[in-house]
Structure 1
Amino acid sequence: MSRRTSSILAALAVVPLVAALAACATPAADGGDAGASGDSIRIGVVGKGDPQWAAFEAAAEEEGIDIEIVDFSDYAQPNPATTEGELDLNQFQHIVYLADYNVSAGEDLTPIGSTAIYPLGLYSTKYDSVKDIPAGETVAVPNDASNQARGLLVLQSAGLITLKSGGTIFSDLADIDEAKSKVKVTALEASLTPTSLPDLAAAIINNDFVQDAGLTFEDAIAQDDPTDPNALPYVNIFATRAEDANNETYKKLVEIFQTNPDVQAGLIEASGGTGVPVQIPAKELQSSLAKVEADTKAHKG
């Protein structure tokens, strides 16, 4: 999921991790076709017009890999299409979204590579630094469940609050340990957080509302910390069926996406400069998915 849905992230000042990726540009090592649908590998995305995809097609072709970018207008469509074999891969979502799909649908799609994280930021018109915010001041977070949990994790990473559970994708205001927290937290409708800044010490503001409020992404005084394990579930990923997780050609495509300068430049351009590329080993992504799926099952009861 891009910043359209993750508002992030989604993401973040990141120091890329080194991924252990195979360098094979030929069909799968087991001798099968490169893609489930034939020699052309079909990759589902939301927003085919984003500049990274044309660059990705060209870079893959230079490596002898024929890919077809399949565009979807609805985020609910690429995962079922991948499950049914209509797609070989998809790239549009973060781990939290994939976990919810797998749990709800009883499927086993799995991440094989990371792309970027889109930061969720904390903004203030009163203070230039988190350290300047006095104890007892009030900070706002969005009141929708997904962004509220993520916003609380940002506040915890910034040292403003402590969450009793340590923080999860389901954290809410009741999870705040007030005795151990520096600030008070209130929840507001997401579109109201920027306009309420004059009455607050700071507020978590979704990316979609930052520029509308006359702010820039560089104005954030804190944002998701990609080195924090709590941020990992919000990293955007390539996903495929579990039985294809070791397909060498798919791994090569991930490597191309992560290392080709034209692809990376297109990703940054498409995100308005907010996306931060990340390279996280597939095993770490898969471990994170397993944890988030377990948490999701427990939460849904």
Structure 2
Amino acid sequence: MSISKKFLAATVALPLIALLAGCASSGSGSTDAGDSTGNSDPVKIGVVGASDPYWETYKKAAAEEGITVDIVDFTDYAQPNPALTEGELDLNQFQHIVYLAQYNVSAGEDLTPIGATAIYPLGLYSTKYDDVADIPEGSTVAIPNDESNLARGLLVLQSAGLVELKDGGSIFATLDDIDESASKVKVTTLEASLTPTSLPDVAAAIINNDFVEDAGLTAADAIAQDDPSDPNALPYVNIFAARADDADNPTYAKLVEIYQTTQAVLDGVQEASGGTAVFLTTPVDDLRASLADVEADTAAHGG
């Protein structure tokens, strides 16, 4: 099934300054790594935003099931997938399917979803204007520069009436797809973590959910956003990802289950997201089918 041009998007995806300490891993990919069989190696999970308190809650919940978890923090989205590919991580949890598909196609890799977490809306924020209608003609709006969230940001701007995209846009939209003569604003791209700090210099900015709280904002401050409940949004479900060899690892599947069913973890995620998380337990086969579809479309669009 080919992806609709009206696809909506979700969180969660940009060069990294440096890997933080603790990123070294056994890279064993063992089916019993860190589990109750007595293997002491922790399961290393790469995330963006390890300071969120729910990760400590999650580690404790996993420990109660006999699984030792080590949360490895990254400062942006570019490195968790390469780190997983290279065996420095066992899993990562920071991205949606579209972002993973783009990584797999561009890098020639086969990382795979092993479970869903949530969909998050992508919001447009401003410290100058309380309403999209107040944004002046010809002003500048900033959006993230990574491929999947750039396209998604453009779709949010289009739905808000700020830009017009040629042929209605798609999940592959770029700045070249903006019909400037029909658009109200100019668009500039920045590394995702910098869009919040750009707010004093632009009329508004698309800010990924991971960076909203750090910017001193809440989801309620968004003056526009996409709709995570749209049925076409499956490719934007955030996921746990593993190497293909570990696709059916029972310990990793248990870690997904712990995330999905531990109320204290879900409450923490919801608090960190400003009440915006829409939790999902989408069947893994559906996630993988969606990934295959997006990878095919991504390859057809030149990767």
TM-score by length of 2: 0.66
- CA shift, 1:300, in A, is 3.8
Gaps (5+ residues) in structure 1? 1-7, 12-31, 198-202
8 Å CA contact retained: 2:11, 2:95: no
Which range is displaced more, 101-110 or 243-252? 243-252
Provide the rounded CA distance (Å) in 2 between the counterparts of 1:212 and 1:256.
Answer: 27
Q: Distance in 2 between matches of 1:225 and 1:81?
A: 31
Which moves more between the two structures, 253-262 or 153-162? 153-162
> Can you list the C-alpha shifts for 1:119-152, whole angstroms capped at 9, x where unaligned?
3212465565x6xx39x95675425543442222
Whether the 8 Å CA contact 1:41–1:88 is kept in 2: the answer is no
- Indicate if the aligned counterparts of 1:195 and 1:213 stay in contact, CA closer than 8 A: no
Distance 1:117 1:138, change over 3 A: farther
CA contact (8 A) 1:158 1:222 kept: yes
Q: CA deviation at 1:239?
A: 0.5
CA, structure 1 residues 233+196, in 2 after alignment: closer, same or farther (shift >3 Å)? Answer: same
User: How far, CA to CA, are the matches of 1:107 and 1:117 in structure 2?
Assistant: 24
Q: Higher relative contact order at CA 8 Å, sep ≥6: structure 1 or structure 2?
A: 1
Trace 1:119-134 onto structure 2 (pairs within 5 A).
Answer: 119-123=121-125, 128=131, 133=133
The alpha-carbon deviation at position 276 of structure 1 amounts to 1.1
Q: Does the 8 Å CA contact 1:141/1:152 hold for their aligned counterparts? A: no
CA distance in 2, matches of 1:196, 1:36: 47
Residues 14-25 of structure 1 aligned to structure 2 (within 5 Å): none
Q: Secondary structure at the match of 2:110?
A: coil
1:228–1:174 distance in 2 versus 1, CA, 3 Å: farther
Alignment-derived partner of residue 255 in structure 2? 253
Deviation at 1:84, TM superposition (A): 4.7
State the distance in 2 between where 1:36 and 1:105 align: 29
8 A contact 2:114–2:253 mirrored in 1: yes
Aligned partner of 2:11: which letter? A
Q: 2:32 aligns with which of 31, 34, 56?
A: 34
Aligned equivalent of 2:292: 290
1:186 alignment partner in structure 2: 186
Give unmatched runs, 5+ long, in structure 2: 1-8, 13-29, 190-194
Residue 142 of structure 1: aligned partner: 142
- Residue 169 of structure 1 and its aligned partner are, at CA, apart by 3.2
Does the Cα contact within 8 Å between 2:143 and 2:153 map onto a contact in 1? no
Q: Which amino acid aligns with 1:206?
A: I
Mapped to 2, the partners of 1:9 and 1:104 lie a distance apart of 21
Contact kept? 1:121, 1:221, Cα under 8 Å: yes
CA distance in 1, matches of 2:63, 2:215: 42
> Aligned partner of 2:187: which letter?
A
Q: Which residue of 2 aligns with 1:242?
A: 244
SS at the partner of 2:248?
coil
The secondary structure found in structure 2 opposite 1:184 is coil
Distance 1:250 1:209 in 2: 27
Does structure 2 retain, via aligned residues, the 8 Å contact 1:141–1:148? no
| RMSD (Å), alpha carbons | 4.0
The alpha carbon displacement at 1:262 in A equals 1.4
Q: What is the rounded CA distance, in whole Å, between the counterparts of 2:93 and 2:211 in structure 1?
A: 24
Q: 1:111: how far off?
A: 0.9
Change (3 A) 1:248 1:215: closer
CA deviations 1:70-125 (Å, max 9, x no partner) are 42446555434433555432223333332233223322110122223443212465
Counterpart in the other structure of 1:67: 68
Whole-Å separation in 2 of the counterparts to 1:122 and 1:150: 11
